[in-house]
Chains A and B, each alone.
Chain A
Amino acid sequence: MADLHDANPAHDSGSVYDGLLDPGAVDGHWAFGTSFEDPLAGVDTTVPSGVDAGDLAAYCLMLGDDALVHSHRLTEWCSNAPDLEEDIALANIALDLLGQSRLLLARAAAADASVVPALPEGSPAPPEDALAFFRDEPAFRNVRAVEAPNGDFAVTVTRLFLLSCWRLALLEGLARSRDQVLAAIAAKGVKEVTYHRDYSARWLVTLAQGTDESRRRAEAALLTVWPTVAELFATHDVERRMADAGVGVDPATVRDQVAAVVDHVLATAGLERPEVRGMSGVRGRTGRDGLHTEALGHLLAEMQSVARAHPMGVW
Chain B
Amino acid sequence: MPTTSATTREELAREVAERVPDPELPMLTLADLGVLREVHVDVADGEHRVTVWITPTYSGCPAMATMRDDLVHGLQQAGFAEVEVRVRLQPAWTSDWVSERGRRALAEHGLSAPGPAPRREGPVPLTLLPVRRAVTCPVCGSADAELTSEFGPTPCTALYRCQACLEPFEHMKEI
Where the two chains meet, the residues of A that have a C-beta atom closer than 8 Å to any C-beta of B are 1-10, 19, 22, 24, 34-36, 38-43, 85, 88-89, 91-93, 95-100, 102-103, 168, 172, 180-181, 183-185, 187-192, 194-195, 197-199, 201-202, 205, 257, 261, 264-265, 268
Contacts and interface: CB of A to CB of B under 8 A. Distances in A.
Nearest to B92: A188
A265 B62 contact: no
Contact of A97 (B15, B20, B60): B60
Contacts, number: 163
The prevalent SS among residues of B at the interface is: loop
Interface stretch (B73-81, B107-115, B137-145): B73-81
B59 A100 contact: yes
Given A4-B1, A184-B90, A192-B58, A202 B70 contact: no
Interface residues of B, number: 59
Contact of A185 (B51, B59, B126): B59
B128 A202 contact: yes
B4 A198 contact: no
8 contacts: A1-B78, A6-B19, A7-B20, A41-B84, A85-B151, A95-B62, A96-B59, A172-B124
B72 A24 contact: yes
Q: Nearest 6 pairs between A and B by C-beta?
A: A42-B86, A99-B60, A7-B74, A99-B59, A2-B77, A184-B89
Interface of B: 1-4, 15-17, 19-21, 23, 26, 51, 53, 56, 58-62, 64-66, 68-70, 72-75, 77-79, 84-93, 123-124, 126-128, 130-131, 148-153, 155, 159, 175
A198 B89 contact: no
A2 B86 contact: no
Contact of A85 (B4, B58, B59, B148): B148
B150 A189 contact: no
B86 A194 contact: no
Nearest to B130: A202
B150 A89 contact: yes
A273 B147 CA distance: 32
Contacts of B123: 172, 257
